[in-house]
Amino acid sequence: MSRPFPEAAREALENTQLRHNLRVATHTIRAKRNAVVSEVPDWEALRDRGARIKEAAMRHLDVHLEQLERSVTAAGGVVHWARDADEANATVARLVREAGSSEAIKVKSLATDEIGLNDALAREGITAHETDLAELIVQLGHDRQSHILVPAIHRNRAEIRELFRRELAGTEDLTDDPPALAEAARRHLRERFLSVGVGISGANFAVAETGTVCVVESEGNGRMCTTLPRVLITVMGIEKVLPRFADLGVMLQLLPRSSTGERMNPYTSLWTGVTAGDGPEAFHLVLLDAGRTDVLADSIGRQALHCIRCSACLNVCPVYERTGGHAYESTYPGPIGAILTPQLRGLESAPTLPWASSLCGACYEVCPVKIDIPSVLVHLRGRVVREAKGDGWRARIAGERLAMEAMARVFGSRRRYEAAQRAARAGAWPLSRDGKIERRLPGPMAGWTQARDLPAPKESFRDWWRRERA
C-alpha cells in the first residue's frame, strides 16, 4: 500500500519552492488552454465527439485490438502482447538485446514509466536515455515525475541550471536562461540520437484500421527517436486504440489545446509499420494490459480508460496545484490519477486516492473526452468502503464506519435527529462564546478547528419554526 495521500500531501504542502513553482506553472498553462479553447466555437461538440469515439473504442476493444494487430503485421511490424508490467519489460529487454544494443533512446512515455521500464532495463544491463527535456531533468536528478505533461513541473530554472552544471559536461558557464538550458540539453542529446540503434516510444493513439501509430510532442526529440534508430519499439496501453483513421481528426484537435494550450503541437509523428529505406528497419508494438481489462469490468469506473493524457485536469485541480504530483505516488497524478491508479493497481494499493479531491468538478469541466471524474471518485469511494479488505485499511476506517452508521441512524428518524441537535447544542454551549467555538477541539473535529472557528447557535431553525409558526 502506498503512503496515505494526506500524509504525503502534508510533506509537499510544506515545500515553499514547490508551492511557488506549481502555482506559477499551473496558472500559466491554465491561461493558455483557456485562450485556445475559447476560440473554438464548437468546442463542446468536439468534446462530445471525443467522448463518443472513446466509448466506441472501449465497447469493442477486443475487436479493435485484433484489427490493429493485423494492420501492423501487414505493414511489416511485429505485435507483442503483454499481460502485465513484467511481461512488457521482459519483451522490451529481449528486443533491445536482439538488436545487439545495450542502450536505447526514449521518447517521453507514461506507459513505460508506469511499468518501470528504465529500471527493469538497467537490471538487464541496458541503459535507457530519456530525450524529452523534462524527462531528462528528472532522470539526471534521480527524481520522480510529478506531472503527466511536464514531469519536472516541480523544478524551476534555477534548480535545473544547478542540476545541469553538476551532471552535464561543458556547462561551467551555464546561465538559467531557458534557451541556454535547452541548448545544453540539446548538445548532450544530439550525440545519443546519432549513435544509439534502438528507440523506445509510447503512443498517443494507434489506429486499428490502418495500423498507424501516433506520437505528438513539442521538442522534436520524439521524431529523432522514432526515425533515426534501426529498431523502434513502442509500448502502448491497450486503451489507446482508435477504431478509424478519421478519429484522429477529432483527437488531434482536442489534445494539444487541452494539453499544452496550443492550436497544434509542433511535431505529430505518424508511422505505419516499416518502409524500406525510410526510418527504422524493424518496428515492434508491445500492447500492454496491466490491469486495464479489469477496469473495463466496472461500468462506472471504466471511463477512466478514455483518458488521452492531456493533463488539463491536473492544471485546474486546486488539490494538485497545492500538493504537486509526488503526493499521489503514481505515474498518473492529479484527478485522473486519483481514479486511474486505484483501478489499475487495485483499490487496496491506493485506498486514500479517491478522497484526494474536494469534488469541486473543475476537472470534469475541462476534460476533452468528458470523463466525469467527480462521479467516478464518489463511486470508487464506495467501492473502497465496501470492498477493500486489507486489515490495516479496515482498522483505519473502523471508527469512521461506526460514526457513519450512527449518523445514518440519527438522520433516519426525526426524533433521534432532533435529540441529536439538542445534544450538540448542550455540548457546544460550554465551548462557545458569542455563538462561536473559537478553540481547537479534540477528536474528529480537530482537523476542522485547527484553522477555523465553528458556529454554535442557540436555537435550530425547526425550533424557531415551531415556536413562531406552529
Partner 1 sequence: MSTEASRPRTLGDVRVALFITCVNDTLFPDTGRATVRVLERLGHEVVFPLEQTCCGQMHANSGYQLEAVPLVRRFVRAFGDPSFDAVVCPSGSCAAMVGDQYARLADLSGDQKLVGAVAALAPKVHELSQFLVDVLGIEDVGAYFPHRVTYHPTCHSLRLLKVGDAPLRLLRNVRGLRLVELPEATTCCGFGGTFAVKNADTSTAMLTDKLRSVLDTGAEVCAAVDNSCLMHIGGGLSRQRTGVRTVHLAEILAGTE
What are the residues binding partner 1 (CB under 8 A)? 5-6, 9-10, 13, 19, 318-319, 322-323, 354-362, 364-365, 378, 381-386, 400-401, 404-405, 407-408, 410-414, 417, 421, 424, 436, 438, 444-445, 447-448, 450-457, 459-466, 469-470
Question: Which CB atom, from 198 or from 362, has the smaller least distance to partner 1?
Answer: 362
Of all helices (H) and strands (E), which one includes residue 255? helix 247-259
Q: Which residue has the cell 488539490?
A: 319
> What does the alpha-carbon distance between residue 256 and residue 218 come to, in Å, rounded to a whole number?
10
Question: Which CB atom, from 159 or from 418, has the smaller least distance to partner 1?
Answer: 418
Question: Which CB atom, from 75 or from 378, has the smaller least distance to partner 1?
Answer: 378
Question: Which CB atom, from 40 or from 410, has the smaller least distance to partner 1?
Answer: 410
Question: Which CB atom, from 237 or from 374, has the smaller least distance to partner 1?
Answer: 374
> Considering the complex, what minimum distance in angstroms separates the CB of residue 357 from partner 1?
7
Question: Which CB atom, from 100 or from 318, has the smaller least distance to partner 1?
Answer: 318
Residue 288 forms beta bridges with which residues?
82, 237
> What does the alpha-carbon distance between residue 393 and residue 25 come to, in Å, rounded to a whole number?
35
> Considering the complex, what minimum distance in angstroms separates the CB of residue 365 from partner 1?
6
> Considering the complex, what minimum distance in angstroms separates the CB of residue 459 from partner 1?
6
Under a CB-based contact definition with an 8 Å cutoff, are residues 316 and 111 in contact? Answer: no
> Considering the complex, what minimum distance in angstroms separates the CB of residue 250 from partner 1?
24
Question: Which CB atom, from 170 or from 461, has the smaller least distance to partner 1?
Answer: 461
Three-state DSSP state, 341 = helix
Three-state DSSP state, 9 = helix
> What does the alpha-carbon distance between residue 449 and residue 437 come to, in Å, rounded to a whole number?
8
Under a CB-based contact definition with an 8 Å cutoff, are residues 322 and 333 in contact? Answer: no
> Considering the complex, what minimum distance in angstroms separates the CB of residue 412 from partner 1?
5
> Considering the complex, what minimum distance in angstroms separates the CB of residue 231 from partner 1?
45
> What does the alpha-carbon distance between residue 370 and residue 363 come to, in Å, rounded to a whole number?
9
> Considering the complex, what minimum distance in angstroms separates the CB of residue 308 from partner 1?
21
> What does the alpha-carbon distance between residue 384 and residue 198 come to, in Å, rounded to a whole number?
42
User: What cell was used for 217?
Assistant: 510532442
> Considering the complex, what minimum distance in angstroms separates the CB of residue 310 from partner 1?
19
Across 140-151, b (16+ Cβ under 10 Å) vs e yields: bbeeebbbbbbb
Question: Which CB atom, from 174 or from 378, has the smaller least distance to partner 1?
Answer: 378
Three-state DSSP state, 438 = coil
Question: Which CB atom, from 395 or from 470, has the smaller least distance to partner 1?
Answer: 470
Torsion (CA) 438, 439, 441, 447 in degrees, nearest 10? 80
Under a CB-based contact definition with an 8 Å cutoff, are residues 2 and 329 in contact? Answer: yes
Under a CB-based contact definition with an 8 Å cutoff, are residues 58 and 305 in contact? Answer: yes
> Considering the complex, what minimum distance in angstroms separates the CB of residue 194 from partner 1?
46
